[in-house]
Structure 1
Amino acid sequence: MKTTFYMSLLLAGLHAVAHGQLPPNHHNGHDPDEPKHHMHHRVEAIACLKLVPNNADFAFQFFKEVTLEAPNKNIFFSPVSISTAFAMLALGARSTTQTQILEGLAFNLTEIQEKEIHEGFHNLIHMLSHPESGVQLNMGNAIFLTEKLKPLKKFLDDAKVLYQLEAFSTDFYNPTEAEKQINDYIERKTHGKITDLVKDMDPQTVMLLASFVFFKGNWEKPFKPEHTEEREFFVDAETTVKVPMMHQTGRFDFYFDEELSCTVVRLHYNGSATAFLVLPPKGKMKQLEQALVKETVRKWSDHLFQSLLSLYLPKFSISGSYEIMNTLSKMGIVDVFTDQADLSGITGTPDLKVSKVVHKAALDVDERGTEAAAATAAEILTLSLPPTIEFNHPFLMLIFDRDTNSTLFIGKIVNPTITS
């Protein structure tokens, strides 16, 4: 009988609040007086760019699985948080268990070595946790261990170096106390955004792994609160809700995908984060979900052009909470959740398995932003009215980090008045 290792994977995603134009070279934000830093940054970027295609494949595959499980519900999760936690777990996995985890994360092990994967995640965490400016993004991992369980020094050392792991001793025999310790830690790390991550803890738990991401961004070009007004949002053919709808007229990165009949608008945050808002025709979300692969997003990115628009976007807060063992099992990560698990790289003995995986993410979208420099030129509006794009029925929101090309969050907003 394997000892169950209750693994909690959590994430806080925050504050979509943004618009602006991508500068001709967004790396110009680096300080020219720090060539060493610049060089180091570039080396890190190259290491983590190796992970980009695989992480994107994992992100969209996971999204498809989750939408199948909850077809008409809001969805919000952080693929990069899930990938990071399981890549770290792979450090302590051996044999088939390790292969399944890495292949389930969409890595082809004939093309990329395990060592390169861990180095890539190390650099990714470092770059995301030290953004150049404007965006607040904290990533981290923590492990809570029963006194009896003595992890191998090598695992702890490697996980600390590669994944910024923090380790804590926890008395799981006192579940109330253990829950409080873990939830307080997560709440603190996510600035109060993620609360009560774990509940009803099993006193037999020997180890809990938590992974978190906290994101707060300000729109490069904020919406003016006085332009926000209540308007209708069409959830489905039978349901209409009232939402506070933000509005601004200006030049936006825009593309209409004729193949999928969907409208794409890109808004930038200050710093390196960017949001893609994707609006399919009413009732055609399924078609868009099925077409969501990295090549589709790349096509949108390549075809965006500046266009004068009157843009309406709901102000909303959503969160997603998922038990994701089932989803990951469908994606080929199976043994780690069964008595076949081999996590002997963590403790030296193969008597651990993962019993539970919880992922929680939250997002706020509102008007806030930091005004650009005072010498901004007034938008020159043509006399004819610009086309109106109103996100007033279910749409997708994808948040990327431009420096690392990482998919930070994927959201499907079906009903912006439902917060969880």
Structure 2
Amino acid sequence: MRSFATFMSLLTICWGLHEDRLTLANNRFAISLLHGLPTSTETNIFFSPYSISVALGMAFAGARGETREDLFQGFGYARSDINDDVVLEAYASHRTRLRSLRSNSTLDEAIGAAIHERISLLSSFENVLNNSFGADLLKVDFINGGQAAVDVINGWVHGKTRGKINLLFGEPLETITQLVLLNAVYFKGTWDMVFDQRLTTKKTLYERVLYTD
């Protein structure tokens, strides 16, 4: 029993390390992406790095050969010293951790894949989407039912985000589309330290960003 307990402790530490390295890789990718996005003095930039990382993780799961290696390098997995064979397990561990958090906030994640109804995914890829990412698989007809396919996707994300995102795609996708990887996040929480709205005034916000690598 003691040996088994020791083994489980080491396994937990090992997976925790993989998860931390995956988080590091995703954070680095997010910062690089932010620096590459167009800037404007009139509008703010709003995007979800986590959603992008999850979608790219699903793309990595389905890639093979040179494409898989390019994604492994491009997403920063290699730089963060995480092995190719544990990336997907780290995503699964991270997802489990998020779902187990207990707080006064609500965090719902919508992960899915819209698949053209005439193609079949490899069982190995389908298992990864289900087990590592908890993805919903949506069968649609991108060729003959363009608008209907978009309506299915929009209806799915509408339900997953409790009505906050009503329109993911406004027009039918190209008829050559075979697979669309989907991710959205619904978050609702309260401030840890509530501020008095009467003390709030509109002023210019100056932000100083320090980036170190």
Find out whether 1:63 has 2:68 as its counterpart. no
What are the Cα deviations for residues 152-179 of structure 1, in whole angstroms up to 9, with x where unaligned? 1111012211111111111222222111
Amino acid at match of 2:139: S
Q: Which residue of 2 aligns with 1:165?
A: 135
Find out whether 1:213 has 2:182 as its counterpart. no
Amino acid at match of 1:212: A
Q: Report how far residue 43 of structure 1 moved.
A: 7.0
Higher helix share: 2
SS at match of 1:232: coil
Q: How many residues align structurally? A: 201
- Find the aligned partners of 1:110 and 1:64 in 2 and give their Cα distance: 19
Q: Report how far residue 183 of structure 1 moved.
A: 0.6
Q: Report how far residue 234 of structure 1 moved.
A: 2.7
Aligned-residue RMSD, C-alpha: 2.4
Q: Mapping of 1:308-327 within 5 angstroms?
A: none
Q: Which residue of 2 aligns with 1:193?
A: 164
Q: Mapping of 1:258-337 within 5 angstroms?
A: 279-280=206-207, 288=209, 291-293=210-212
- Find the aligned partners of 2:132 and 2:196 in 1 and give their Cα distance: 42
Q: Percent identity?
A: 23
- Find the aligned partners of 1:217 and 1:176 in 2 and give their Cα distance: 35
Q: Report how far residue 47 of structure 1 moved.
A: 3.6
What are the Cα deviations for residues 107-165 of structure 1, in whole angstroms up to 9, with x where unaligned? 21693211221111111122123322222112242111122111111110122111111
Amino acid at match of 1:76: F
- Find the aligned partners of 2:17 and 2:77 in 1 and give their Cα distance: 17
Higher relative contact order (CA 8 A, sep 6+): 1
Q: Which residue of 1 aligns with 2:114?
A: 144
**Counterparts in 2 of 1:92 and 1:201: CA distance versus 1, 3 Å:** same
Q: Which residue of 1 aligns with 2:25?
A: 54
- Find the aligned partners of 2:50 and 2:62 in 1 and give their Cα distance: 19
TM-score normalised over the length of structure 1: 0.44
**Counterparts in 2 of 1:95 and 1:42: CA distance versus 1, 3 Å:** closer
2:150–2:173 Cα contact (<8 Å) kept: no
Q: Which residue of 2 aligns with 1:79?
A: 49
Gaps of 5+ in 2: 1-8
- Find the aligned partners of 2:12 and 2:193 in 1 and give their Cα distance: 27
Q: Decide which structure has the larger Cα Rg and report it.
A: 1
Gaps of 5+ in 1: 1-38, 236-278, 296-420
Q: Which residue of 2 aligns with 1:240?
A: none
**Counterparts in 2 of 1:125 and 1:101: CA distance versus 1, 3 Å:** same
Please point out which of 131, 145, 148 is paired with 1:177.
148
SS at match of 1:188: helix
TM-score normalised over the length of structure 2: 0.83
1:87–1:102 Cα contact (<8 Å) kept: no
Q: Report how far residue 56 of structure 1 moved.
A: 1.6
Q: Which residue of 1 aligns with 2:95?
A: 125
SS at match of 1:214: strand
Amino acid at match of 2:76: A
Q: Report how far residue 186 of structure 1 moved.
A: 0.5
Higher strand share: 1
